[in-house]
Amino acid sequence: RKEVEQDPGPFNVPEGATVAFNCTYSNSASQSFFWYRQDCRKEPKLLMSVYSSGNEDGRFTAQLNRASQYISLLIRDSKLSDSATYLCVVNPASYDKVIFGPGTSLSVIP
């Protein structure tokens, strides 16, 4: 089993739709979790950290389920500008390298 796995995608959704991405991780002792966004031919950028209680930032909601070892990202009211690849990232422990998932591609269609 890979350390971090994501929905294979691609996701093609119309503007205004709600879309959810899932990510699973294998190390139950993992301590922190993130979602990054990567635009075509650009560097990944931090979208949001995922807190134990879940967190929301505008149209984006991240959830963590430690018991089932998965993280989700929900995007409401999708915009054309949301088209990108979304990377799930897990930090197994402090003072350790993070683990990147393979990414899920999203295309928002007019």
Partner 1 sequence: DGGITQSPKYLFRKEGQNVTLSCEQNLNHDAMYWYRQDPGQGLRLIYYSQIVNDFQKGDIAEGYSVSREKKESFPLTVTSAQKNPTAFYLCATQSYLSSYNEQFFGPGTRLTVL
Hey, which residues between 6 and 25 contact partner 1 (CB under 8 A)? none
Torsion of CA 94, 65, 12, 6, to 10 degrees: 50
Q: Which of 50, 49, 35, 51 is nearest to 84 (CA)?
A: 35
Residue selected from 14, 53, 94, 110 as contacting partner 1 according to rule CB under 8 A: 94
Measured CA angle at 97 (ends 60, 33), to 5 deg? 20
Query: Which ranges constitute the DSSP H helices of the chain?
Result: none
Q: For residue 91, state whether it binds partner 1 (rule: CB under 8 A).
A: yes
Q: Contact region for partner 1 (CB under 8 A) — 13-21, 52-60, 68-76, 101-109? A: 101-109
Return d(Cα 91, Cα 104) in angstroms, integer: 19
Considering only the C-alpha atoms of the chain, give the largest distance between any 2 of them, rounded to a whole number of Å: 43
Q: For residue 73, state whether it binds partner 1 (rule: CB under 8 A).
A: no
Q: For residue 102, state whether it binds partner 1 (rule: CB under 8 A).
A: yes
Hey, which residues between 34 and 53 contact partner 1 (CB under 8 A)? 34, 41-46, 49
Total site size for partner 1, rule CB under 8 A: 20
Interface residue list for partner 1 (CB under 8 A): 32, 34, 41-46, 49, 87, 89, 91, 94-95, 97-98, 100-103
